[in-house]
Amino acid sequence: MPKTIQPGLPSPLGASLSGEGVNFALFSRHASHVSLQLFTNPEDAQPHKVIDLDAQHNRTGDVWHVWVKGIKPGALYAYRVDGPYAPEAGHRFNVNKLLLDPMACALTRFPDWDFEHALGYDPSSPGKDLTPLMVDNAGHMPKCVVVNDDFDWHEDILPKHPWANTIIYETHVRGFSVHSSSGLAHPGTYRGLIEKIPYLKELGVTTVELLPVQEFNETQVTSPLGKTLKNYWGYDPVVFKALKASYSSAKGFGGQVAEFREMVLAFHKAGLEVILDVVFNHTAETDVWGSTLSQRGIDNSVYYILDENKRFYKNYTGTGNTLNANEPAVQEMIIASLRWWAQRLHVDGFRFDLASILNREGSGNLLSSAPVLENMMKDPVLKDLKLIAEPWDAVGAYQLGRFSGTSWREWNDRFRDDVRRFWRSDDGLKGPFASRICGSSDIFSPSGKNPSHSINFVTCHDGFTLNDLVSYRYKRNMANKQNNQDGTNENFSDNGGAEGEPVSLDVQKARQRQIKNFLLSLFIARGVPMLLGGDEFCRTQAGNNNAYCQDNEISWYNWNDLKKNKEIFNFTRGMIAFRQAHPVLAKGQFYNAQDIQWFNTQKGAPNWDNPQEKQLGCLIFESKEQAIFLMFNASFEAVQFNLPSVYPTTRWYLAADTSRPSPQDCFAKGKEPLWENTRQYPVGPRSSVILLARQ
């Protein structure tokens, strides 16, 4: 080899600046030949330089590697990998396909990917056009970018909010600010998030959880009816370290990395954490008829869990393929990717989509102790970050309360469903509702976990917004071009008396009460509250409960709604402030008998076995001289609650009442008015109240 090209090193994987050049390293156990291809422009079909890797000099174990002098940040590259095309053995090598580095840190912005040129059909199926197997896709693929790792972090310090103080705000980078009403200089971008920091601080949240920013193809989605749609949510990663380029306003190849770092630094300076929603359960290559973009063409049988008939993929994700997360090479890729995000981009944690798949071994069976999860917990970089699991997959692995060790927090869909059903006035929900607001000990205590392991939410990106939860009994997903067959039918929603919009003033008021009830329930419950972005000002998706393909007004935040629904914003902000002012609500232990007492409307004990009883009182002792009395009325009639005798000289102060209009619905700390009647409080229909007991 000439001096400008040297054998290089097998570690680290990916493209790493090294001396006067770049070291390239690619894992492929079963490849017979690998070539590194260097490009000048993203749309180029032909590389300006091809470097063939010699198995004798450029291979160490299962890693192919080379060092190239003179390569600088911003350089574009990709691979071609040859080997057996033997689907019956699980191998799908195809030298006609240009492949992306699974460890690339950035891809070129390429909004119109032509996946048809990347398709790799299985010749075992009769009647299929096999031409795509032979078609070169290089001119229709983005290219990997060598990333500059230099960045001045200005002694950045991660906020590290304790779980007891954490309040999560889930949002989409683009949808949060792309609407013209945002009035931002950089709408729909990482810089747009920076511009909205004052708003997030005013609201009072501590942690922003971003929907996927791992690179994905926006033009990938096609409905079962053959209608081309937009991939908006991004739960189809192409490679796992590459940062989404179209969310950046930066110019130049790889500029998205610097802009994202600027965003994280700005968030940290404001005391806000950044959590990323990551997808390590599948890739965008989908099923046997999908595209060959990266892992499939590099080493299909290693990267994926294959069916007993190795032509096909086991599909525990509902998306066509399942990543073989506990295969050592794949495990190394996952942990190295997480380390990249944590060390080089300073993110504060991760929420793992369909995390139960990480508990599956190479045959798809569930493990009691998965190596990839164990190694995350032992990793010095990852073990102290915020780690959140969606503790299920698409085919029945439901592990809520039992996911891995005690370091993991878990999305609690039981909280969502039980709270929704209680406020819908379903029978028999008084007991489950009480369990949820107390931290779900029935779910988490058996495995030694505490309330802080429960991520409580009423709504999330997947489903109705809070406004739509109280406005629609039935989903309206026709815009998704699937005849309204997509999205869940079990929404446990109600409409306040009329479906959709427009509605009468009485219906509007009924819906407003319900929104406040949900917000109050979320923020007084033990556990970690998560608020869906936009719920604080009644963002609507017009009844669409599965807006994964709606990169438009259906999903975007219309900031005019903030002015229109300022009352809900103020109530949300007030309830967040109330939670922060009363730490007893957020303690990391379950309540015991000395901490809490339950009442019916007459000061007696509730009849937990009466399914028709829709009222519940809850007295929480803060100290020897202070207590909080919560009153919930999920019935359609107003009721009188007899107030308990807490202290000999108890005086009651009103903190919140969801039946009242603003500003009488929620009071700031120290501004709570005295409630003169020490014996009773009238709670309106479908309303909740917070009184403070003081001597």
pLDDT for 369 equals 87
- Up-side HSE of residue 92: CA atoms within 13 Å toward CB? 34
pLDDT value of position 115? 57
Q: How far is CA 471 from CA 506, 541, 565, 575, in A?
A: 13, 11, 15, 22
Percent of the chain with pLDDT over 70: 96
Is the Cβ–Cβ distance between 230 and 550 less than 8 Å? yes
**Residue 113: band (very low, low, confident or very high) from pLDDT cuts 50, 70, 90:** low
Q: Region 61-79: what's the mean pLDDT? A: 97
What pLDDT is stored for residue 685 in this prediction? 98
Q: Is the pLDDT of residue 127 over 60?
A: no
Instruction: Tell me what pLDDT residue 134 has.
Output: 82
Give the contacts of 333 (CB within 8 A, at least 6 positions apart).
13, 27, 102, 103, 240
| pLDDT of 500 | 96
The pLDDT of 178-197, averaged and rounded, is 98
pLDDT of residue 695: 83
Q: Which amino acid belongs to residue 41?
A: N
Phi-psi region of 127 (alpha: psi -120 to 50; beta: other; left: phi over 0): left
How would you classify the pairing of strands 59-60 and 63-69?
antiparallel
DSSP string, 256-271: HHHHHHHHHHHHHHTT
Does the pLDDT of residue 161 top 60, yes or no? yes
246 Cβ neighbours under 8 A, 6+ residues apart? 109, 111, 174, 218
What's the confidence (pLDDT) of residue 290?
A: 87
Distance CA 325, CA 319 (A): 16
Per-residue pLDDT tens digits for 29-38: 999 999 999 9
Amino acid 135: pLDDT: 84
Three-class secondary structure assignment of 318-383: CCCCCECCCCHHHHHHHHHHHHHHHHHCCCCEEEECCHHHHHECCCCCECCCCHHHHHHHHCCCCC
- Residue 81 has what pLDDT? 98
Note the CATH number of domain 163-287+325-585: 3.20.20.80
* 403-450 pLDDT, tens digit each: 998 899 999 999 999 999 999 999 999 999 999 999 999 999 999 999
- Cα–Cα–Cα angle for 466, 471, 476, nearest 5°? 95
Q: Count the helix, strand and coil residues of the chain and give each as a percent rounded to the nearest 5.
A: 25, 20, 55
Non-local (6+) Cβ contacts of 125 within 8 A are none
Across all residues in the chain, what is the average pLDDT? 94
Angle CA 234–237–243, to nearest 5: 85
Task: Please report which helix (H) or strand (E) contains residue 274, including its range.
Answer: strand 273-278
Asked if the domains 5-102+109-142 and 592-694 are classified in one and the same CATH topology, the answer is yes
Per-residue pLDDT, 132: 72
Sign of CA dihedral 183, 261, 257, 209: negative
E-strand spans in 91-163?
A: 91-92, 144-145
Confidence of residue 2 (pLDDT cuts 50, 70, 90): low
Which sequence spans correspond to the domains of the chain?
Answer: 5-102+109-142, 163-287+325-585, 592-694
Work out the pLDDT band at 289, boundaries 50, 70, 90: confident
Mean pLDDT of 512-539: 98
- The pLDDT value recorded for residue 228 is 72
Among 273, 348, 390, 494, the one annotated catalytic:
390
Mean of the pLDDT values across residues 247-257? 94
Kindly report the three-state secondary structure assignment for every residue of 144-202.
Answer: EECCCCCCCCCCCCCCCCCHHHCCEEEECHHHHHCCHHHCCCCCCCHHHHHHCHHHHHH
Q: How many CB atoms lie within 10 A of CB 152?
A: 8
Q: Which residues contact 247 (CB under 8 A, 6 or more apart)?
A: 173, 174, 188, 189, 190, 213, 256
Q: What span, in angstroms and rounded, lies between the C-alpha atoms of 137 and 293?
A: 9
Write phi, then psi, for 151 (nearest 5 degrees): -160, 135
User: What pLDDT is stored for residue 516 in this prediction?
Assistant: 98
List the end-to-end C-alpha distance of the chain, in Å, as a whole number: 85
Chain segment 563-574, per-residue pLDDT in tens = 999 999 999 999
User: Residue 116 — pLDDT band, cuts 50, 70, 90?
Assistant: low
| Average pLDDT over every residue of 515-531 | 98
DSSP bridge partners of 627: 621, 693
Q: Catalytic pick from 353, 551, 665, 672? A: 353
Is the pLDDT at 372 greater than 90? The verdict is: yes
Residue with tokens 């935040």: 557
pLDDT band at residue 647 under the 50/70/90 scheme:
confident
Choose among 413, 516, 424, 408: nearest CA to 459.
413
- pLDDT bucket at 125, cuts 50 / 70 / 90: low
pLDDT band at 649 (very low <50, low <70, confident <90, very high): confident
Distance (Å, whole) CA 387 – CA 351:
6
Fold of 5-102+109-142: Immunoglobulin-like (2.60.40)
The domain defined by 592-694 folds into Immunoglobulin-like (2.60.40)
Work out the average pLDDT over 88-114: 90
Question: What one-character-per-residue DSSP string does 402-447 give?
Answer: -SSSTT-EEEEHHHHHHHHHHHTT-TT-HHHHHHHHTT-HHHHGGG
Q: 305: pLDDT confidence band, cut at 50, 70 and 90? A: very high
Residue 284 has pLDDT above 60, yes or no: yes
Q: Is the pLDDT reported for residue 123 higher than 60?
A: no
Confidence of residue 351 (pLDDT cuts 50, 70, 90): very high
Whether 390 sits among the annotated catalytic residues: the reply is yes
pLDDT of the residue at 133: 80
- CA 22: distance to chain centroid? 34
Whether 353 is a known active-site residue: answer: yes
pLDDT at residue 223 above 80?
no
pLDDT in tens, 527-563: 999 999 999 999 999 999 999 999 999 999 999 999 9
What does pTM read for this prediction? 0.97
pLDDT digits (tens, 9 = 90+) for 663-680: 999 999 999 999 999 999
- Is the predicted pLDDT of residue 124 greater than 80, yes or no? no
